[in-house]
Amino acid sequence: MFFFEKKNQKTFLLLDLVNTKKQKFFASFFQKRSAFLLLFLAAAAPAPPWEERYYNPKPAPGDLALPIPCGGALILRPVAVPAGNAALDDRAIQLGSPSAELGFNEYQRGAFLAAPFTADGTHVFYIGKYAVTRDQYAAVTGTCPAAPTPRGRIAQADISWFDAVNFTQLWSSWLLANARDKLPRHGQAIAFVRLPTEEEWEYAARGGASVSESDYLAPTWPMPEGIERYAVAGAGGSDGRPQQVGQMLPNPLGLYDMLGNVEQWVLDPYRLNRVGRLQGQTGGLVARGGSYATPLAQLRSSMREEIPPFDPARNAPTHLAFIGFRVALAADAGGGLGDVAALRQAFEALQHDPTSQGDDPQATIARLKQQTADPAIRQGLDRIGAQLATDARGRADAARESVRAQMEAATALAYVVWRVQVIIRAQQAQLDNPAFKDLQNADDLARVKRAIAVNQADQQTALDGYARLLREAAIGPAAAVVADQARILTQELRGRADRRTRFVEIAAKHLAELGAGRPVAPDVMLKDIVAVPAQ
């Protein structure tokens, strides 16, 4: 009995111990599960939207707002790239600086740019209006800020290139899952987020098609208020660290902090400049635009710096306190499988020389290939055909650029003709006014007549130059080329509110007539130009 009682006592003690452990286990389990459920519900519940001032301190028409996790958003701006509408058309642009002082790094070179999306009838790509901020970076990479703050609006810096790329990957995936309908499309392809290329970044920094050719090629975009109003840089305005985005004035495209504040990672690997073109060896990474530590006098749109991707002292990717990033929207170049046929047709069209006046060399080569079965000869003919097609395309592209340049110059002369006509009409009306004649002596009347004669001579000079330009431009280009370049030029001039826009149609009409072999008399040109209404 005693043994049984002892045994039962041990049993009960053991059971109590087991029950106690079970209770603690289940209590801990349910406590952890409740915490998990709370976290899950908190993540699932929509976060309250941020106030716009925390992600878009300077709203403007044309802003594209895309959401990010945690209730925030990130703003992008469209950058117009006027070009032809064929599937493989692009735009020739200039990058770099004509100064040879740092020629191996940023000497002037030509490049080509095309844009995948369309806005207001113009080809565009999208680039971040501001550098990515601390709050935006935290929200996308997994740590929602308790609430957006002014401190969170400081440009994110001290991150590696790999961190910036990871941000674009995370945000692209999140957008596809949560806001796919807000992403623009290129054909069937949905946009994704990446770092901008060097060409995109510099074209946007310079002002793109929204500025004149001379302003585009200048060291910086036009800054009438002084560079210190556009860039956080130098000892005076930076406080030795990154600042809030959007505090300064924007560039002509509405982009902030393209120069100064934080340097910005771009997508491409670094390459040296071999006098007008990139050298063949790829190197480290590229950061653009200078930072808060850069003297104001050294800031320029061509500024680029090679950054080693890895830091040997830390055995880790390089991240520096003055480098951040902004994002761009891109899309599959082909636009989706449905556009393959259109791309093939566009490529085949480009193989043929549109300026050739005789037999098509490609057709001749095709006939020669049919007449021989020798593989070596056929391969040789293919190489000749490829080189001829490349040379022909270069000539055709140069001819298109020449037509647009000549049309732009012609519109400038047409505007001069029109403007001088306005002055002549005012002077003639003054001369015909009886009250003016009664009040003026013979010398005053003679002076007005001489002014009219001088203006008429100047008008004739401008009209002669206009006609000569168009006659030269009319040699060779087809009507389709003229119409296409007129459309592109209209987009360019309209984008910068240029007064010459209204004369493009007149110049294109005259050029098409001359190209078709129908002469246009100078008095007809004058009549068409002066009939353009004032705006």
Whether residues 455 and 373 share a domain: the answer is no
In a domain, 25, yes or no: no
Q: Domain for residue 56, yes or no?
A: no
Task: Tell me the CA distances in angstroms from 211 to 130, 293, 493, 503, one per residue in order.
Answer: 20, 28, 9, 18
Average pLDDT over residues 384-394: 73
Task: Dig out the tokens for 29 from the structure.
Answer: 């389990």
321 and 260, same structural domain? yes
Q: Quickly list DSSP for 107-151.
A: B-EEEEE--SEEETTEEEEEEESSPPBHHHHHHHHT---SS--TG
**Token pair in block for residue 269:** 């690997």
422 neighbors 534 (Cβ within 8 angstroms): yes
332: helix, coil or strand? coil
Residue 72 scores a pLDDT above 50: yes
Phi, then psi, of 29 in degrees rounded to 5: -60, -50
Residue 524 in domain: yes
Model-level pTM? 0.76
Strand 304-307 to 91-95 pairing: unpaired
Determine how many CB atoms are found less than 10 A away from the CB of residue 226.
10
C-alpha count within 13 angstroms, C-beta hemisphere, residue 56: 22
CA–CA dist 535, 532 (Å, integer): 9
Do 361 and 266 fall into the same domain? no
Tokens, residue 143: 């740590």
**Mean pLDDT within 408-427:** 92
What is the CATH classification number for the domain harbouring 151?
3.90.1580.10
Report if residue 54 sits inside a domain: no
CA distance 325 to 130: 9
Residue 290 lies in a domain: yes
* 37 assigned to some structural domain: no
Closest CA to 266 of 224, 187, 205, 220: 205
Element (H, E) at 331: none
Based on its alpha-carbon atoms, the radius of gyration of the chain, rounded to whole angstroms, reads: 33
Domain membership of residue 12 (yes or no) is no
Most confidently predicted of 157-161, 420-424, 480-484, 488-492? 157-161
Structural contact between residues 337 and 189, judged by C-beta atoms closer than 8 angstroms: no
If asked whether residues 372 and 460 sit together in one domain, one would say: no
Of 507, 493, 486, 482, residue with least CA distance to 535: 493
Tally of CB atoms within 10 A around 351: 16
Is 46 part of a structural domain of the chain? no
Residue 204: how many other CB atoms lie within 10 Å: 26
pLDDT digits (tens, 9 = 90+) for 291-343: 999 999 999 999 999 999 999 999 999 999 999 999 999 999 887 656 677 77
Percent of the chain's residues with pLDDT above 70 = 86
370 shares a domain with 242: no
If DSSP codes are grouped into helix, strand and coil, which group holds residue 431?
Answer: helix
Domain residue limits at 354:
350-394
Is the separation of the CB atoms in 489 and 411 below 8 Å?
yes
Same domain, 505 and 374: no
Count Cβ atoms below 10 Å from residue 80 Cβ, excluding itself.
23
> Which tens digits make up the pLDDT trace of 430-464?
888 888 777 777 788 888 899 999 999 999 999 99
Task: Read off the pLDDT of residues 502-516 as tens digits, 9 standing for 90 and up.
Answer: 899 999 889 888 888
For 219, residues 6+ apart whose C-beta sits below 8 A from its C-beta are 97, 300, 301, 302
Pick 485 or 359 by higher pLDDT.
Answer: 485
155/292 Cα distance (integer angstroms) = 11
Interatomic CA distance for residues 186 and 343, integer angstroms: 13
Handedness of CA 324, 328, 334, 337 (dihedral sign): positive
- pLDDT given at position 372: 82
- pLDDT band at residue 488, thresholds of 50, 70 and 90? confident
Q: Are residues 389 and 409 in the same domain?
A: no
Among 28-32, 331-335, 498-502, 514-518, the least confident range = 28-32
- Per-residue pLDDT band at 33 (split at 50, 70, 90): very low
Picking from 316, 337, 358, the residue at the C-terminal end of a domain is 337
Both 195 and 300 in one domain: the answer is: yes
Under DSSP, the state recorded for 280 is: E
Q: Is it the case that residue 42 has pLDDT exceeding 80? A: no
CATH number of the domain where residue 476 is located:
1.20.58
Are 152 and 277 in a shared domain? yes
**CA dihedral over 341, 347, 353, 358, signed as positive or negative:** negative
Chain centroid, CA 103 distance in Å: 24
Q: To 5 degrees, how large is the angle CA 308–CA 313–CA 314? A: 90
Higher pLDDT, 178 or 337: 178
Cα separation, 381 vs 369, in Å, equals 7
At residue 235, the pLDDT reads: 60
Domain count, the chain: 3
Q: Are 307 and 408 in the same domain?
A: no
pLDDT tens, residue by residue, 210-256 = 998 889 999 999 999 999 999 998 765 567 899 999 999 999 999 99
Question: Do 307 and 112 form a contact (C-beta atoms < 8 A)?
Answer: no
Most distant CA pair in the chain: distance in Å? 150
Q: What is the dihedral of CA 20, 25, 31, 33, to 10 degrees?
A: -150
Rounded average pLDDT over 175-202: 96
d(CA 284, CA 269): 6
Shared domain check, 354 and 289: no
One-letter identity of residue 170: L
Which position has the token pair 């009960």?
12
The tokens describing 222, both together, are 């036009």
- Does residue 128 sit in the same domain as residue 221? yes
What is the Cα–Cα distance from 38 to 204, expressed in whole angstroms?
Answer: 45
**CB contact set of 180 (below 8 Å; sequence gap of 6+):** 190
Query: Quick check: helix, strand or coil at residue 288?
Result: strand
